[in-house]
Amino acid sequence: MDSVDDPALHQQRSWDANVDAWTRSVRDHRIPSRRAGTDRAVVDATLQSTARRVLDLGCGEGWLARALAARGIEVVGIDASARLIAAAKALGGATFTAITYDQLMRTDHLQPFDAVVANFALLDEDVDTPLRAARARLRSRGTLIVQTVHPWIARGDRPYEDGWRVETFAGFGEGFREPMPWYFRTLSSWAAAIADAGFRVDRWNEPMHPDTGMPLSLLISASRVDDAPRG
């Protein structure tokens, strides 16, 4: 990427700059891939886990937490952006708190969860911290659900290798003020990261576009391995 900034810091600045535009895009259903099936896919995957208590990791403006809570699930949504959490709290529907993944690893005030869901929320080069934090907050044999961009589609015409990319939010609606760095991962990179954090992948799902038949996303369901190191 071209920015001389630390990509992770630039990413956080982008979220804070784009809170209003992002909130409108999500709540007005302006993002085509979400309308085509990614929203439904992550809700269905969470319901299939039969979890009664869920942590929404990187909850943004809170749509998923509200959708699950409306189905009788107890949900806590966390996000590093205090402005996004403020937007989530304004609409309510679940419990929301501003906390970073590092803080989540160290906190001891949250009771264990049956499932942790990260819906397009693992965008940094460091996924080990949030994945290990998720594992620490899960009950024994709890479920991790990760939805992310499909590597074979998201690579575009770039080499199929891990590395920083830039999201311009084109097609998401008006008002986005700053592009966002995000970290592209290959399928094997995702598999290694999840295993290294102490999980066993149970299912790899590829929600498909109903019209084109092309993958909309990669959806991973994994179980906490109870004898894995927490390192």
Per residue in 22-56, pLDDT tens? 999 999 999 999 999 999 999 999 999 999 999 99
The answer to whether 150 and 217 have CB atoms below 8 angstroms apart is: yes
Residue 5 banded pLDDT, cuts 50, 70, 90:
confident
Residue 230 lies in a domain: no
Residue 195 lies in a domain: yes
Is the confidence at residue 58, as pLDDT, over 60? yes
Residue 74 lies in a domain: yes
Q: What is the pTM of this model?
A: 0.94
Structural domain count, the chain = 1
Residue 97 lies in a domain: yes
pLDDT of residue 105: 87
Cα distance between residue 55 and residue 149, in whole Å = 21
Alpha-helical segments (H) within 60-141: 63-69, 82-91, 101-106, 128-137
CATH number of 128's domain: 3.40.50.150
Rounded to 5 degrees, φ, ψ at 110 are -95, 130
Q: State which amino acid sits at residue 15.
A: W
Whole domain around residue 98: which residue ranges?
7-224
β partners of residue 117: 56, 145
Residue 2 lies in a domain: no
Rounded to 5 degrees, φ, ψ at 5 are -70, 160
Burial (CB count within 10 angstroms: exposed 0-12, middle 13-18, buried 19+), residue 216: buried
The answer to whether 149 and 162 have CB atoms below 8 angstroms apart is: no
pLDDT of residue 164: 96
pLDDT averaged over every residue in the chain:
94
pLDDT of residue 227: 56
Cα distance between residue 170 and residue 55, in whole Å = 29
Is the confidence at residue 4, as pLDDT, over 60? no
Residue 229 lies in a domain: no
Residue 114 lies in a domain: yes
3-state secondary structure of 150: coil
Q: What is the pLDDT of residues 64-101, one digit of tens each?
A: 999 999 999 999 999 999 999 999 999 999 999 999 99
β partners of residue 95: 76
Q: Give the rounded percent of residues in the chain with a pLDDT score beyond 90.
A: 90
pLDDT of residue 231: 44
Residue 1 lies in a domain: no
The answer to whether 186 and 169 have CB atoms below 8 angstroms apart is: no
